[in-house]
Chains A and B, each alone.
Chain A
Amino acid sequence: MTAVVGAAEGPGDLQGSAARWRRRYAVDRIMRWGLPLALLVVLAPLFDMIYWIAVRALPTFTLATLTTDQVGLGGGLYAMIVGSFTLLGLATGFAAAVGIAAGMYTAEYAPPPVARWARVAGNLLAGIPAIVLGYFGYYALVLYTHWGYTTLAGGITLGVFMVPFIYRTADLAFANVPSEQREAALAMGARPGQYLTRVAWPIALPAILSGVFLAMAIGLGETAPLLYTAGWSSTPVAGLFQPTSFLTGAIWNFYDYPATEGSFQALAFQAAFLLLVLVIGLNVVVQAVAERYRRRTRGMRA
């Protein structure tokens, strides 16, 4: 096909022969129906994955799976669920404190060059491979401190991993507060601190929360920062300086055992199923919160 939109050919091109016209639109039609097929290529595996994990997990999935400890080859996921949420709680506490504060200051106070560098650093931090952070946690918090494998080390490492996700959304949330709101507040005599806590914060909160939930969904699914910091334990977490098990660790530790009824592998699939449910649930929450935020700011911009 030769240049069609090229300026050189001019309007004469529009009066091309009927055959040529048909050919051009045939190509367009092929693309119209062909390109969406790529979506099928990608979504088919997604549904296949969800289907197979449900098939492998559900026959043996009972309430006891959630409430009993792992015993011998089988048992339940209680210790891992408690461990995962303890780690996630620690990590979210750390990451939310650092991320929200940093995001707020980047958007509101930092001079533009500082803000630019901070944003670049935030994006780079988000790009650090999880296993590199795992090594960092292992070296700095397990070996150097002589703590050994601890829940605290796992929580901090996971927290460092989660910081950039919260930071980015908090930064955006504050930056996206309509400037009329700031101008109105300042014009009425509010101090910058008052503006931040009473005007910007309530407006930005839903977006910040959706960032926190998103970071939690990502953190819940991570293995590499935890395996060599939180260690492993088949009983529920006993303290901050004790090792703990976690859901993703259950999958990694048990996935290659032979598949028999009530086995380690069944436990791994149950953990995978539970993770899928939790992660998809958190994503739904993120969508709902983000939608609420959009509605709230839309009214202001109108």
Chain B
Amino acid sequence: MDEPHPPGDRSGPDRPPAFLGPPAPAAPAPPRRERSLGRWLGSPLALAPLLLLGIVVAVLAIASEGQNFGLSFWGPVWAFNPTDPAGSTYGIALFALGTAITAGAALLLASGLSLAISIALTVYLPPRTSRVLTTLTDLLAGIPSVVYGIWGFVVLAPYFASSLEPTLRNALGWLPGFGGPESAIGGGSGLLLGIFILTLMVIPLTTAVMRESLRSVPRELVEAGLALGATPWEVVRRVRLRVARRGLWGAVFLGFGRAVGESVALAMVLGNTVQFPPSLYGGSSTIASFIFTQLDSAFFYPELLRALVEFALVILILTIAFNLLGQRAVSEVRPRAVAGAGGRA
């Protein structure tokens, strides 16, 4: 880029052009060719993410070799026989159940906690405290999932097995899932620990999205509420939460997409059993964690590899669907909030 500069053009790498001195004489219009070339070259480059997404999906589709999703695939029987891989049954239902329980429960807990945190951060805490705490909750998102996993397995599991789970069983044993025989409590690895870890892992994402949706509530609406004599909490409940509704749901969808895809941490704390979980203390596997633990042995069995790619496609479609829903909701936060303000005012 060493074309001669028109006089008066003082642009440089660290000095943005500004009108210093006398105005520059009219510069020639940028050549048409360069602009259209840029546009023409730009579109495929801009589509690099779309291209990568397409490649990933295409490779997975090719890997499944077209013979997919038979009746037994959706069934609850996983009976892999190494001597007869072609005659084995590869059912996804048990793992789908594991995914549904862990992701569902984690999302339920994470949504509640995130809502409370994001209200506290945006409304109640002083700005400085809020900024520090925001950094800390964001830090939670940066911690690698294996680190959550080893902490869960080595530090938390013994505690869960020795005190938390017996206490829960005695106190809440009448609730479905919380009861069961004493022997049901194993080494602490199981659904309860998995849900706990997954909740912690999802919270930073849901909190960040909820926080931003609450922040984008127009100030006039909040001030109008306060001016009418509402307490801050009443403004939260009747103004902020209503205006930010879509963004809050978006957070839940995005969080669910994240939870469905988590593999490593769950593979470490969930016990990796293939069974109908007898209680919350029992072991389980999710679709993602099962792929993670089985991919190694799949090397030798093409049929197993194909079954696992179908698993991968299932969670891929689930995460794409939830991410699309979440994005739609989140992207409409701002315009809708403004439109709502105009409509109601």
A residues touching B (Cβ–Cβ < 8 Å)? 3-5, 13-14, 24-25, 27-28, 31-32, 34-39, 41-43, 45-46, 48-49, 52-53, 56, 98-99, 101-102, 105-106, 108-111, 114-115, 117-118, 120-125, 127-136, 138-140, 143, 160, 163-164, 167, 181, 184-186, 188-194, 197-199, 202-203, 217-218, 220-224, 227-228, 248, 251-252, 255-256, 259, 265, 268-269, 272, 275-276, 279-280, 282-283, 287, 300
Contacts and interface: CB of A to CB of B under 8 A. Distances in A.
Kindly list the 6 A-B residue pairs having the minimum CB-CB distance in the complex, ordered from nearest: A189-B27, A129-B261, A221-B144, A109-B42, A38-B116, A121-B50
Contacts of A130: 261, 263-264
28 contacts: A4-B230, A4-B234, A14-B228, A28-B231, A28-B233, A28-B234, A34-B116, A35-B120, A35-B124, A42-B137, A48-B151, A102-B45, A117-B50, A120-B324, A121-B50, A129-B319, A130-B263, A163-B48, A163-B49, A184-B16, A189-B6, A190-B11, A191-B3, A192-B30, A202-B13, A255-B154, A279-B142, A279-B144
B268 A255 contact: yes
B274 interface: no
Contacts of B319: 127-129, 132
Contacts of B12: 198
B308 interface: yes
B38 A193 contact: yes
A101 B135 contact: no
Contacts of B30: 186, 190-192
B147 interface: yes
B34 to A, nearest CB: 6
A184 B17 contact: yes
Contacts of B14: 202
Contact of B236 (A31, A184, A223, A248): A31
- At the interface, is chain B mostly helix, strand, loop or mixed? helix
A279 B139 CA distance: 9
Given A27-B231, A53-B147, A259-B154, A46 B323 contact: no
B35 to A, nearest CB: 6
Give the size category of B's interface with A: 35 or more
Contact of A251 (B119, B149, B239, B324): B149
Contacts of B136: 43, 46
Residue from A109, A117, A132 having most chain B Cβ neighbours under 10 A: A132
Contacts of B50: 117-118, 121
Contact of B147 (A38, A138, A184, A272): A272
B113 A128 contact: no
Contacts of A114: 43, 46-47
Contact of B263 (A13, A34, A118, A131): A131
A185 B11 contact: yes
Contacts of A193: 1, 34, 38
B264 A224 contact: yes
A287 B16 contact: no
B339 interface: no
Contact of A188 (B8, B121, B133, B149): B8
A128 B6 CA distance: 48
Contacts of B234: 4-5, 24, 28
A131 B229 contact: no
A279 B142 CA distance: 7
Given A49-B143, A127-B257, 18 more contacts: A13-B229, A102-B49, A109-B43, A117-B47, A129-B288, A131-B312, A131-B315, A132-B315, A184-B18, A190-B17, A190-B30, A191-B30, A194-B1, A248-B264, A252-B149, A255-B154, A276-B143, A279-B142
A223 B262 CA distance: 11
B171 interface: no
Interface string B219-244: 00000010011111111101100000
Contact of A42 (B26, B31, B150, B203): B203
B77 interface: no
Contacts of A120: 324, 327
A135 B38 contact: no
Nearest to B5: A189
B231 to A, nearest CB: 4
A275 B146 CA distance: 10
A7 to B, nearest CB: 9
Contact of A135 (B27, B43, B60): B60
Contacts of B254: 127
A53 to B, nearest CB: 6
A287 B228 contact: no
A48 B143 CA distance: 13
Residue from A3, A49, A134 having most chain B Cβ neighbours under 10 A: A49
B155 A32 contact: no
A186 B9 CA distance: 10
B1 A123 contact: no
B11 A188 contact: yes
A270 B260 CA distance: 29
